[in-house]
Structure formats: C-alpha cells, structure tokens
A and B are shown apart, each in its own frame.
Chain A
Amino acid sequence: MGEHFLKEEGKKVTDTVNKLKPKEDISHKLGTSAKKAMLSGAALVLLFTVFALLKPKLFLARSNLINIAQQVVTYSIIGFGLTFCLVCGGTDLSAGSSMALSGIIVTTLLIRGVPLVFSILTALIFGILMGIFNGFSIEVLGVVPFVATLGTQWIFRGLANVLVDGKPIYTNTIPSESVQKAFYVLGGGRMSSGLPYSVIITLVYGLILFVVLSKTRIGRQIYACGSNLEAAKLSGINAVGTRMFAYCVSGFSAAICGILVTSRISSAQPMAGQGYELEAIAASVLGGVSINGGEGSIGNTIIGALMMGIMRNGLNLMGVSSFWQQVVVGIILVGAVAMEARRNMKNK
C-alpha cells in the first residue's frame, strides 16, 4: 500500500509553515466516546455509591443486584441495536414494537408445536426482516429515519395485535412440557450462583456487537456514514448497505429482547415493550452516544443502561413514587445532554 509514493522528503519550504504547533494534549489520545464513557462511568460509580450508602442493606442485597441486572438486560439489548442506528446517523423508533412482534411470533410457533430452535430462529429472522423493511423505506423509498420507523412502530405493533387479536398468549399452552421448561430457562433461568442466564446472554451479545462496531470494516463504515454521509459515499463506502445493516442489527436485537422477555414472564403480550425504544435511546445518550451520529460505542450504551437501571431501582428503594421517578429521569437526561453541549461549545 502506498509504495509507489516517493519517500523522498519535500525540498525546503515546508518547515516554517504552520509554526504554531498545536499543544500536546493527552485528551486527544482518547476518542470522544471513550472520554464520555469515562465521564458517565464516573457518574455511574457515584450513583451506585450514593444508593449503597443511603440504603446499604436493601440496595446491596444480592437479590436486589440481580434484580437490577435483569432490568438492565432489556434496555441494554434494545439499546445495542439503537446504538448502531444512532451511530450511523439514523434512529429506530420501531424497536419496542419489533420486540413485541417477535415475542408473539416465537410463542405462536411454539404453541403450534414447532420445535424450539426453529421457532427462535424464525423469530430472529423476522427481527432481521423488520430491520430490512425499515432500511428499505429509509434507503430506497427515501423516508427520513424518524418518520419511517415511527410508521413501522405502528405497523409492527398493529401486526402483533392482529396475530393474537389483541390478547396475550401464554407459554403454558405450549403442548410439550419439556419445551415449556427449556424455553423458560432462556429468560428466566439462573445459574447456581443466582446469576440469570439472560445477563450472560446480554454480555456475550454486547461483546460481539462491541467487536463488530469497533473492530470490523462494517463498523468503521457505520461511523463514516454517521459522521459525514457524502464523504463516506465518495470514499467508496456502500452507504445503503451499511445503513441497512445497522437497521438489521436493531431489528435482530429487538427480536432477542422479545424472546428473552416472553420467556421470563411466560407470556407474549402484544402491547409489550411500548416506549422501550425511547428508554433505550435515553440510555444510549446518557452513556455518551451522540444523537447526531458518528459517535458512541457499545460500552457507552451499557453504562447508560446501568445508570438508568440503578437510578430506577435506587429511587424505588427510597420510596420515590414511579411518577416522580419519571420526572427525575427526564431531568437527568436533559441535564446530561446539556452538560455535553456546553463542553462542545467550549471546544469550538
């Protein structure tokens, strides 16, 4: 690469130009999202410490920590998918509906006696198909992501309702009892130490997506598309395919989430996951993913989801009503983004 380019140095002229050498600043060595992750990571530790001091017995109880982990799983997995969409400059408002639809699909298949693995695979494939549908309306039909996925939010939710006539379906109607049990283990099962399998699934899935986003070509392309779409296209990057991929990851993640939740609560609800996409966006942004694209990583999302989970749980333990919790979460979200915006202004 680049071998034909002469290694000979330029003649004279060059050295005096741009004498103003930019200062050596260690903060350049970290990527922006890494810096943000450090900041929100610090906030996370602070949050944890505060609740641990205020309600040491309740908050630090093993059952409570496991409880938090279980709650965080949902937002994290949907958040992973949304992180892909946000980083490539889009958004996916249909994730919550995709989640419900996938839950309905997997349960319906299981009730009809379709083998477990095949049912799950089908639900996952449908997740990807939902992503492709989103990508199609955005990339081919040219609808802006916000509107396109707002539309599919209703389409997928509507389909979920249509499939079960608006009523929940229960996994205890699955004909084979062994399948019932096996399916429950996915979302509700625990290791002997009490750690839910779903937490492990989330960590493994998160790790895979982390590698995809930060260490692979398609990951780099996602950043390029989100940062400057024109430049990305003119750099020979297949922007349509790249963004399609991001929506597929989101659909796939929603499907995983739908399967896990259905398994844990032993029923598929057509109205499940309402507003989850917004919670997931909030978690990602809180963790440091930029809503404008081009910035953020899976690490940011996990931290953000943990912050949301710990905040909710801590406030619950303190006896704060869920209505006030909403107020607090909203204020913190706006506050965090405002702080970020101020820092950006200073930099410019």
Chain B
Amino acid sequence: MSEELFRMEGICKNFPGVKALDDVSFSVNKGEVHGLVGENGAGKSTLMKIMSGVYKEDSGSIFIEGEEVNINSVAKAQELGIAIIFQELNLCPHLTVANNIYLGRPPLKRYLISDKKMHEDAKSVLDDLGINISTHEIVSNLSVAKQQMVEIAKAISQKSRILVLDEPTAALTEKEIEQLFDIIRNLQKKGVGMVYISHRIEELEEICERVTVLRDGQYIGTRNYKDITVDELVNMIVGRPLEDKYPKKIRNIGEVCFEAKNLSRKGIVNVEKIEVRKGEILGIAGLMGSGRTELARLIFGADKADSKELYMDGKSITVNNPGQAIANGIGYVTEDRKFDGLALDLDVQYNTNMAHLRHISRYGFIDDKEGKRNAQEYKGLLKIKTPSLRQKVRYLSGGNQQKIVLAKWLCNDAKLLIVDEPTRGIDVGAKFEVYELLNRLSDQGVSIIMISSDLPEILGMSDRILVIHEGTINGELDVKKTTQEEILYLAAGYNKMKKKAQWENIF
C-alpha cells in the first residue's frame, strides 16, 4: 500500500514580487488519498498548476515511481498520468456523457468515429468505477455531482494514475458526497493516488490518511490523520489557535422586523409564513435544489412570485424587483459571488458601490470622492486585502471577494440581510471574520436570514433554523435543542412527528 507513486521535492516558485512556493515537498502513495490544506493564497493552486504543467517550477524536482520527470507542458502531465478535476468543471455541456469522456480521441473504425464502440467503452469505464449514468445523457442535464463523476471517469479513461481533486464537494449534498467517496475508495483499490484539496476538515478526516499543510507558500508539515487532532490541524493551517470556530454571542433579539406570508412560485416554493426579528439570525437549511435560494430570490424580487405578501416593521411593502427590495431595506448576498455577486472585471471601489449608486450620485452625476471614501471605509472596516481600490476584484482571493459582496450590502443600511452560503469556498480565517461581521450586524439590530449547506455553521450561528424541503418549510428548530441529524432528517423530507427509529432504519 505504501509504495510511492509521486513525489515533489524542494519546489520553489516565484512570481514578480511574491514567493508563491518556498521549498515545498509533497508525496502521494499508490492508492492513497492525500489531503492538501491551507488558506486561500497558501499556494495550493500554484502547486497544483505545477503538477499539471501549467507553471514550471523555478527549482526542485518531481519524481514518478522514483524516476525524475520534467513536467514542462500540460500535455506532458497528461502523458505522465496526472489529471486535475477542477472546481469549475471542464465539460462540454451540449455533448453526451460518452462524447465528453472521449473528447478529442474518439474510437475510430476505418477513419470514422464508431459511436457504438465509444458508448461501450464509456459504459465500461463508468461501470468499473461504480458510476450509474447513461452514456447517452446530455451533460447539461446532469447534476453537478454527476458531472464531476463524468470528469473523473474521463480522467481515468485517459489512464491517469494521479488525480487532483480541487474542492470536489463544494457544490455537493451530503448524499452526493457519500457517492463521491465510494468512487474515491474504488479508485484507491485500483492504486490511483489522489490529492484531495478541501476547506472542509471533517471530510478530510473521513477520506484521507495523510494531510499536508501549506501556509503562505511555506511547507508547514505532513501528518498522519490518526496522530493529529482537528485543533492541531487548524492550528497548523492558520498558524495560531482558533479558540472557537464560531464567535460566541449573546444576542439581543427584538420585535418582529420582517414578515413574509403566502410566498409561492408554482412547483418551486410554497411557504406560508416566515418572520425574522430584529437582531435575529434565522438559519435556513435544506438540501441543494430544495428551494432555499429560490425562496431568497422571491423575497428579493429577483424572480416573479405567484403570490407574496411582505411586511417590514409591520407595514406592508411591495417588492417586484431588486430595486424595490433595496429601497425597502432588504439586501441579498448571493450564493455564487462569481456568477451573480460581483462584476469581476471591475474594480473594488466599483463593486462596493454597485448596489447604491443612487446614494453616491446627485442629479444623476456620480460623486467619485464619496464613492472612494465609502469604498475606503469598508475596505478598512472589513479588512479587505487589496493593493488598491482600483484593483479588479477578479484578482482577489475568495475571502476578500466575499467581503466585497458583503460591503456592497452593508453600505445600504439594510434592515434585512439575506446571506446565501456566505462562507462557501473561503478559508477558515476569513470565515471567522464573516461570522464576526454577521454578529456585529445583528448587534446593530439588522435581521439576518442565513442560508447554508454547512450544518455546523448553521448551528453555530443561527438563533432559529427553518428546514426547507421541496420548497416548503418542513420544520422549525430551536438551535439550542437540535442536532445535525435532526436537520438532515427534516431536510430529507421526513416529518418530525415520525419516529426517529424509522429514519435509522432507512439509512
């Protein structure tokens, strides 16, 4: 089992002005899943890009099965059997599963493509991995989890021996994660070595034998999972002890601030009533696709509702579009900052001010001084790390990007802030800062609705939890008296009243 497959030694990589990697060593054994962790900007992706031939190391050596290799191009890396499954999947959405697996190298029969053979071959690869997807399915019809599996199958069909999984579970539900882990275990049996990059420490614990920590481009160490506690690991990652993942908070909860009644959109959301009090954080849990985000979009006026009644401070308000929502003091921090949260090619100042141009303009003219002052203020307040306010947000780390999305709404004096997956894909330290920020807002009397797939986060931050299943509320839980299991149970669509034993029988 412990036969070495891949080793990097003393890897250094400099970018102008930044030492991205400094003497990093790292190895993967056959059939091993090796965790690679570190905060954003720690050097994980640079290391990965060196492995895959996108960058060339400045110094250091790479060995595969004991032989030194020179990975000087992406093609070379592929030839050596190194494949990376990126967070953003690289599939052609309009083509079938089989076509994607054999993209660029379809099986030929007398110079023509043999569709029959392609589907047979693809099916055997999928079967071999225990993946149950039709090879004729169009990729865009598949869930993200299934698409990821296709990507893995594609890599394996190219005879890859070393797989790098970059945040593979970021967009998966608990159940899908289990399926992915089954596939990973299958691959382990075949002797494939895997590098598993993730922010979710609980997952690493489940799937990895060893874990390597990078911080600020430095190699911090490699540990066997069984010899180390989570606290020690977190300590290695952030370089200091984190007393608590969630800041302790005694909340001062006031009157009902926001109320939504009869919210419905046919077939997607059907909610009778939601209320949030002043200074309260209301958690909304549910599986992906359960209608959590759709619910938020309905409240915010981003989607058309079949029916809805909204009340702010007891007064009825009309919200038919995001503009009206903002005017009524509602803010919405979206789920996917790159897709609908930020204008990536515009600068920090621009993005910070994007949702309240009205406030910084007079007679339609923008007051740039005011805009700059405002952006500067929030940059300081949220400790946004950026070389200047003129930096394009594309080049900032995930955590800093997320802070800008938050800043965008903070300067609007929102009474109700809806945050959708506020800490997805950002590192431990930045997560803590976001939590503190939410706490400070609740101190100010802002009502917050927090949607999250991260159960410990929901439990750690909310005062009350609503669990959504198929667009309806399947239970309200008091955070002090509930458990992750209970949330999952309700999220899976089981009723609270049914006996818990039943649930245990099913799983």
Q: A residues engaging B (CB < 8 A)?
A: 1-8, 10-11, 13-14, 16-25, 28-32, 215-221, 223-224, 227-228, 230-238, 294-295, 347
Contact = CB atoms under 8 A, between A and B. Distances in A.
Q: Please name the 4 residue pairs, one residue from A and one from B, whose CB atoms are nearest each other, closest first.
A: A17-B429, A227-B343, A23-B17, A230-B340
B365 A215 contact: yes
Contacts of A14: 383, 429, 433
B322 A227 contact: no
B225 interface: no
B334 interface: yes
Range for the number of chain B residues in contact with chain A: 35 or more
Contact of B242 (A13, A19, A230): A13
Interface string B426-443: 010110110011001101
Contact of A232 (B238, B343, B432, B443): B343
B219 interface: no
Contact of A22 (B359, B386, B429): B386
7 contacts: A17-B238, A29-B390, A32-B392, A220-B366, A223-B346, A231-B354, A234-B302
Nearest to B357: A217
A6 B345 contact: no
B377 A28 contact: no
Nearest to A30: B390
B240 A217 contact: no
Contact of A228 (B240, B342, B359): B342
B39 interface: yes
A234 B387 contact: no
Given A29-B390, A230-B340, 5 more contacts: A1-B356, A21-B385, A22-B387, A224-B343, A236-B321
B196 interface: no
A13 B244 CA distance: 11
B332 interface: yes
Contacts of A1: 356, 359, 374, 411-413
Interface in B421-477: 427, 429-430, 432-433, 436-437, 440-441, 443-446
Q: Which of A2, A218, A230, A238 neighbours the largest number of chain B CB atoms within 10 Å of its CB?
A: A2
B390 A18 contact: no
Interface string B349-386: 01001111111010011101000001001100101011
Q: Which of B216, B354, B446 neighbours the largest number of chain A CB atoms within 10 Å of its CB?
A: B354
A6 B326 CA distance: 21
Contact of B388 (A3, A18, A28, A294): A28
A20 B41 contact: yes
A5 B18 contact: no
A347 B394 CA distance: 10
B341 to A, nearest CB: 6
A206 B386 CA distance: 34
A13 B429 contact: yes
Contact of B440 (A5, A16, A227, A234): A5
B354 A224 contact: yes
B413 A232 contact: no
Contact of B391 (A28, A217, A233): A28
Interface string B299-327: 01010000000000000000001110111
Given A8-B440, A17-B430, A228-B343, A215 B383 contact: no
B440 A29 contact: no
Given A29-B388, A217-B357, A235 B397 contact: no
Nearest to A292: B345
A2 B343 contact: no
B302 A10 contact: no
B125 interface: no
Contacts of A347: 395
A228 B359 CA distance: 21
Q: Which of A8, A19, A227, A235 neighbours the largest number of chain B CB atoms within 10 Å of its CB?
A: A235
B80 interface: no
Nearest to A11: B436
B236 interface: no
Given A5-B410, A32-B392, A295 B345 contact: yes
Given A20-B18, A233-B322, A235-B408, A227 B385 contact: no
Contacts of B353: 220
Contacts of A7: 381
Contact of B354 (A6, A32, A230, A235): A235
B374 A227 contact: no
A27 B321 CA distance: 38
Given A1-B356, A234-B300, A215 B386 contact: no
B205 interface: no
A231 B354 CA distance: 9
A213 B22 CA distance: 45
Given A4-B413, A218-B364, A234-B332, A16 B239 contact: yes
B375 to A, nearest CB: 11
A30 to B, nearest CB: 7
B486 interface: no
B345 A231 contact: no
A217 to B, nearest CB: 4
Contacts of B342: 228, 231
Given A1-B413, A227-B344, A236-B326, A18 B40 contact: yes
Contact of A23 (B18, B390, B444): B18
B507 interface: no
Nearest to A225: B343
A18 B403 CA distance: 13
Q: Which of B343, B429, B446 neighbours the largest number of chain A CB atoms within 10 Å of its CB?
A: B343
B31 interface: no
B357 A220 contact: yes
A20 B354 contact: no
A220 B350 contact: yes
B53 interface: no
B430 A18 contact: yes
